[in-house]
Amino acid sequence: MTMTLPRPAPDTCSPPFDAYEIADILSRLKRWKPLDVDALLDDVAGALDDIPPAALEMPGLIHRLHRHLDQLADISIANAASERDGGVARLLAQGANLQTTSLPSELAEAQRHLRRVGWVVNELVDRLVAAKYMKGTE
Domain membership flag for residue 56: yes
Q: How far apart are CA 85 and CA 34, in angstroms?
A: 24
CA distances for 4 relative to 1, 7, 58, angstroms: 10, 9, 74
Residue 64: predicted pLDDT: 96
In a domain, 63, yes or no: yes
Please report whether residue 78 resides in a domain: yes
Domain total of the chain:
1
CA atoms within 13 A on the CB side of 137: 9
pTM of this structure: 0.78
Give residue 12's pLDDT: 72
Q: Please say whether the beta carbons of 124 and 74 come within 8 A.
A: no
The answer to whether residue 48 is domain-embedded is yes
Tell whether 18 is covered by a domain. Answer: no
- Domain extent for 92: 36-130
pLDDT for residue 138: 62
For residue 52, being part of any structural domain is answered with yes
| Within-domain flag for 103 | yes
Block means of pLDDT (10 residues each) for the chain, 138 residues, are 73 76 81 87 96 93 95 91 90 95 90 96 94 80
Is residue 5 one of the residues assigned to a domain? no
